[in-house]
Amino acid sequence: MHRLLFLLFASYSMGLAAQEMTPEKLYEIIEQESDTVKVVGNSYHFVLNDAMLICVYDENANRMRIIAPVVKLDEIGEDEILNALVANFHSALDVKYALSDEIIWSVYTHPLQQLSDAQVVDAIQQVYAAALTFGSSYSSTNLVFPGNKKKVEKPKAKPLNKT
């Protein structure tokens, strides 16, 4: 019985190893899902429904990320930034809004080798949706976890009238 369980586990483990994500496989999936794709070093720049997305990978670090620029920081106010932070908890599920180089990005990160084909497709869709819905629903899918969906406005202090 132990031998049978070992053989089943070993064959399952070997099947998982055979399904490791590679940069080549990642490219094939992105090519199928996007309108155009261009290789730039260890990244793939691609367009989906007129939106630019970038997939950056590092085989040595076993990491990948798919990102999309959303808006320049100086083009939005504090409310949008706070709403994005709330969304990171409730409605931006596998993606997060992040700030880098004065640009707000929609970002998905994952270990490269453990990534499945379906996860790549889902990541592309979520990054695209989060970028598209910034400023409105701030969501990457239709699923929203319960709780505060937008920041609560604090009452503004009334100025004192000096007489």
List domains and CATH numbers for the chain: 21-133 (3.30.1460.10)
Calculate the average pLDDT of the chain: 87
What are the tens digits of pLDDT across the range 12-64? 554 444 579 999 999 999 999 999 999 999 999 999 999 999 999 999 999 99
Instruction: Provide the pLDDT for residue 141.
Output: 86
Counting DSSP H helices and E strands in the chain, the numbers are 4, 6
Q: Tokens 């004065």 identify what position?
A: 102
Spatial separation of the C-alpha atoms in residues 110 and 119, rounded to whole Å: 9
Give me the mean pLDDT over the 142-160 stretch.
57
Residues with Cβ within 8 Å of 151's Cβ and at least 6 positions away in sequence, in order, are: 79, 82, 83, 85, 86
pTM exceeding 0.75: yes
Q: Tokens 């409730």 identify what position?
A: 90
List the structure tokens of 13.
């483990």
Q: Is the pLDDT of residue 67 over 60?
A: yes
Instruction: Provide the pLDDT for residue 154.
Output: 46
Spatial separation of the C-alpha atoms in residues 120 and 137, rounded to whole Å: 23
Instruction: Provide the pLDDT for residue 153.
Output: 47
* Residue 3 binned pLDDT confidence (cut-offs 50, 70, 90): low
* Higher-pLDDT residue of 150, 53: 53
State which amino acid sits at residue 89.
F
